[in-house]
Amino acid sequence: MALGNALSNRPKSEEPNINITSMMDMFTIILFFLLSSYGSSPVEFDLDKGMELPESSATFDYSNSVKLFLSNSSIKVEKELVGQLRDGQVLDLDMTKPKSSYLYIKLKAFHEKQIEDAKIEAEKDGKDAKDDFHVLFFCDRNLPYKTMNNIMKVAALAGYPNFQLAVLEKS
Protein backbone atom coordinates (compact mmCIF):
# COMPACT_ATOMS: atom_id res chain seq x y z
CA MET A 1 0.00 0.00 0.00
CA ALA A 2 2.84 2.31 0.96
CA LEU A 3 4.49 1.51 -2.35
CA GLY A 4 1.30 2.33 -4.21
CA ASN A 5 1.12 5.69 -2.56
CA ALA A 6 4.75 6.42 -3.26
CA LEU A 7 4.25 5.68 -6.94
CA SER A 8 1.11 7.77 -7.23
CA ASN A 9 2.73 10.68 -5.39
CA ARG A 10 5.85 10.67 -7.60
CA PRO A 11 5.96 13.65 -9.99
CA LYS A 12 4.97 12.69 -13.52
CA SER A 13 7.95 12.53 -15.90
CA GLU A 14 7.82 14.68 -19.02
CA GLU A 15 7.45 13.04 -22.41
CA PRO A 16 10.82 13.01 -24.20
CA ASN A 17 10.81 15.33 -27.18
CA ILE A 18 12.95 13.91 -30.01
CA ASN A 19 13.87 16.26 -32.79
CA ILE A 20 13.28 14.26 -35.98
CA THR A 21 13.85 17.10 -38.45
CA SER A 22 17.45 16.13 -39.20
CA MET A 23 16.43 12.49 -39.65
CA MET A 24 13.66 13.59 -42.03
CA ASP A 25 16.21 15.58 -44.04
CA MET A 26 18.47 12.53 -44.33
CA PHE A 27 15.60 10.27 -45.32
CA THR A 28 14.43 12.75 -47.96
CA ILE A 29 17.89 12.85 -49.56
CA ILE A 30 18.18 9.03 -49.55
CA LEU A 31 14.66 8.68 -50.96
CA PHE A 32 15.30 11.03 -53.87
CA PHE A 33 18.64 9.37 -54.65
CA LEU A 34 17.07 5.91 -54.66
CA LEU A 35 14.09 7.08 -56.72
CA SER A 36 16.38 8.53 -59.40
CA SER A 37 18.53 5.38 -59.63
CA TYR A 38 15.38 3.23 -59.67
CA GLY A 39 14.06 5.04 -62.74
CA SER A 40 17.26 4.60 -64.78
CA SER A 41 17.38 0.81 -64.52
CA PRO A 42 13.87 -0.45 -65.15
CA VAL A 43 14.82 -3.79 -66.72
CA GLU A 44 15.73 -6.82 -64.67
CA PHE A 45 18.10 -9.46 -66.01
CA ASP A 46 18.01 -13.00 -64.87
CA LEU A 47 21.63 -14.10 -65.23
CA ASP A 48 22.65 -17.70 -64.63
CA LYS A 49 24.57 -18.50 -61.47
CA GLY A 50 28.30 -18.30 -62.11
CA MET A 51 27.89 -16.28 -65.30
CA GLU A 52 30.40 -13.45 -65.44
CA LEU A 53 30.08 -10.58 -67.89
CA PRO A 54 33.23 -8.86 -69.15
CA GLU A 55 34.11 -5.33 -68.08
CA SER A 56 34.41 -2.65 -70.69
CA SER A 57 35.05 1.05 -71.06
CA ALA A 58 32.03 1.29 -73.38
CA THR A 59 29.62 3.99 -72.34
CA PHE A 60 26.71 3.29 -74.67
CA ASP A 61 23.43 2.63 -72.98
CA TYR A 62 21.97 -0.72 -73.94
CA SER A 63 18.60 -0.67 -75.61
CA ASN A 64 16.04 -3.22 -74.70
CA SER A 65 15.57 -5.93 -77.28
CA VAL A 66 15.55 -9.71 -77.55
CA LYS A 67 17.91 -10.98 -74.90
CA LEU A 68 20.18 -13.92 -75.62
CA PHE A 69 22.05 -15.45 -72.67
CA LEU A 70 25.04 -17.68 -73.27
CA SER A 71 26.55 -19.16 -70.13
CA ASN A 72 29.01 -22.03 -69.88
CA SER A 73 26.17 -24.53 -69.50
CA SER A 74 23.08 -23.15 -71.25
CA ILE A 75 21.62 -20.90 -73.94
CA LYS A 76 18.50 -18.92 -73.16
CA VAL A 77 16.37 -16.64 -75.30
CA GLU A 78 14.66 -14.25 -72.91
CA LYS A 79 13.88 -16.67 -70.06
CA GLU A 80 13.41 -19.82 -72.11
CA LEU A 81 16.09 -22.50 -72.27
CA VAL A 82 16.81 -23.22 -75.94
CA GLY A 83 20.02 -25.21 -75.75
CA GLN A 84 22.71 -26.67 -73.59
CA LEU A 85 26.49 -26.58 -73.66
CA ARG A 86 29.02 -29.20 -72.70
CA ASP A 87 32.76 -28.42 -72.77
CA GLY A 88 32.13 -25.37 -74.93
CA GLN A 89 30.16 -27.43 -77.46
CA VAL A 90 26.55 -26.55 -78.16
CA LEU A 91 24.42 -29.69 -77.96
CA ASP A 92 21.63 -30.11 -80.52
CA LEU A 93 23.17 -27.57 -82.88
CA ASP A 94 24.39 -28.93 -86.17
CA MET A 95 26.16 -26.08 -87.95
CA THR A 96 25.57 -27.79 -91.31
CA LYS A 97 21.82 -27.47 -90.66
CA PRO A 98 21.50 -24.49 -88.29
CA LYS A 99 17.92 -23.77 -89.32
CA SER A 100 16.77 -26.99 -87.70
CA SER A 101 17.92 -25.89 -84.24
CA TYR A 102 15.45 -24.73 -81.61
CA LEU A 103 17.57 -21.60 -81.11
CA TYR A 104 16.99 -20.58 -84.73
CA ILE A 105 13.26 -21.35 -84.57
CA LYS A 106 12.88 -19.31 -81.38
CA LEU A 107 14.86 -16.31 -82.66
CA LYS A 108 13.04 -16.38 -85.99
CA ALA A 109 9.70 -16.31 -84.17
CA PHE A 110 10.84 -13.29 -82.15
CA HIS A 111 12.05 -11.54 -85.29
CA GLU A 112 8.77 -12.09 -87.12
CA LYS A 113 6.82 -10.82 -84.13
CA GLN A 114 9.01 -7.70 -83.93
CA ILE A 115 8.46 -7.02 -87.65
CA GLU A 116 4.69 -7.42 -87.22
CA ASP A 117 4.67 -5.06 -84.22
CA ALA A 118 6.83 -2.52 -86.07
CA LYS A 119 4.44 -2.59 -89.05
CA ILE A 120 1.44 -1.91 -86.83
CA GLU A 121 3.35 0.88 -85.07
CA ALA A 122 4.43 2.39 -88.39
CA GLU A 123 0.87 2.34 -89.74
CA LYS A 124 -0.29 4.21 -86.65
CA ASP A 125 2.43 6.86 -86.95
CA GLY A 126 2.44 7.00 -90.75
CA LYS A 127 6.18 6.27 -90.92
CA ASP A 128 8.31 3.53 -92.49
CA ALA A 129 8.46 0.32 -90.48
CA LYS A 130 11.66 -0.19 -88.48
CA ASP A 131 13.63 -3.30 -89.46
CA ASP A 132 17.04 -2.87 -87.78
CA PHE A 133 16.43 -5.09 -84.80
CA HIS A 134 19.28 -6.40 -82.73
CA VAL A 135 19.99 -8.97 -80.07
CA LEU A 136 21.18 -7.95 -76.62
CA PHE A 137 23.84 -10.60 -76.12
CA PHE A 138 24.91 -11.70 -72.64
CA CYS A 139 27.90 -13.98 -72.87
CA ASP A 140 30.15 -15.43 -70.19
CA ARG A 141 33.57 -13.74 -70.29
CA ASN A 142 35.45 -17.04 -70.28
CA LEU A 143 33.71 -18.66 -73.25
CA PRO A 144 35.81 -19.25 -76.36
CA TYR A 145 35.05 -17.39 -79.57
CA LYS A 146 34.18 -20.64 -81.35
CA THR A 147 31.13 -21.14 -79.14
CA MET A 148 29.84 -17.60 -79.40
CA ASN A 149 30.56 -17.46 -83.13
CA ASN A 150 28.22 -20.38 -83.77
CA ILE A 151 25.46 -18.70 -81.75
CA MET A 152 26.01 -15.36 -83.51
CA LYS A 153 25.81 -17.07 -86.90
CA VAL A 154 22.49 -18.68 -86.02
CA ALA A 155 21.17 -15.34 -84.77
CA ALA A 156 22.29 -13.61 -87.98
CA LEU A 157 20.51 -16.29 -90.02
CA ALA A 158 17.34 -15.70 -88.00
CA GLY A 159 17.43 -12.00 -88.94
CA TYR A 160 19.65 -10.48 -86.28
CA PRO A 161 23.04 -9.59 -87.83
CA ASN A 162 23.45 -6.71 -85.36
CA PHE A 163 24.33 -7.31 -81.75
CA GLN A 164 24.68 -5.33 -78.63
CA LEU A 165 27.16 -7.02 -76.34
CA ALA A 166 26.16 -6.60 -72.72
CA VAL A 167 29.14 -5.58 -70.62
CA LEU A 168 29.70 -4.23 -67.15
CA GLU A 169 30.89 -0.71 -66.59
CA LYS A 170 34.57 -0.68 -65.61
CA SER A 171 34.89 0.00 -61.91
Strands 66-70, 134-139: parallel, antiparallel or unpaired by DSSP?
Answer: parallel
Answer left, alpha or beta for residue 14, where phi above 0 means left and psi between -120 and 50 means alpha: beta
Which one, 95 or 120, has the nearer CB to another protein?
A: 95
> Please, what is the minimum distance in Å from the beta carbon of residue 137 to another protein?
9
108 binds another protein (CB under 8 A): no
As a whole number of angstroms, the distance between CA 21 and CA 27 comes to: 10
Give whole-number Cα distances, 143 to 21, 68, 85, in Å: 54, 15, 11
Which one, 32 or 119, has the nearer CB to another protein?
A: 32
**Among 25, 45, 46, 84, interactor with another protein by CB under 8 A:** 45
Residue 143 buriedness (CB in 10 A; 0-12 / 13-18 / 19+)? middle
Q: What angle do CA 89, 170, 40 make, to 5 degrees?
A: 100
**Among 5, 9, 22, 37, interactor with another protein by CB under 8 A:** 37
Q: What are phi and psi of 81, to 5 degrees?
A: -75, 120
**Among 25, 30, 99, 119, interactor with another protein by CB under 8 A:** 30
> Please, what is the minimum distance in Å from the beta carbon of residue 124 to another protein?
28
**Among 4, 49, 50, 60, interactor with another protein by CB under 8 A:** 60
**Among 25, 28, 84, 119, interactor with another protein by CB under 8 A:** 28
Residue 148 buriedness (CB in 10 A; 0-12 / 13-18 / 19+)? middle
Taking the CA atoms of residue 59, residue 72, residue 82 and residue 46 in that order, the dihedral angle to the nearest 10 degrees is: -50
Q: How many residues bind another protein (CB under 8 A)?
A: 49
Per-residue binder mask for another protein (CB under 8 A), 122-151, x = binder = ------------x-x--xxxxxxxx-xx--
* Binding residues vs another protein (CB under 8 A): 20-21, 23-24, 27-28, 30-31, 34-35, 37-38, 41, 45, 53-63, 134, 136, 139-146, 148-149, 152-153, 156, 161-169
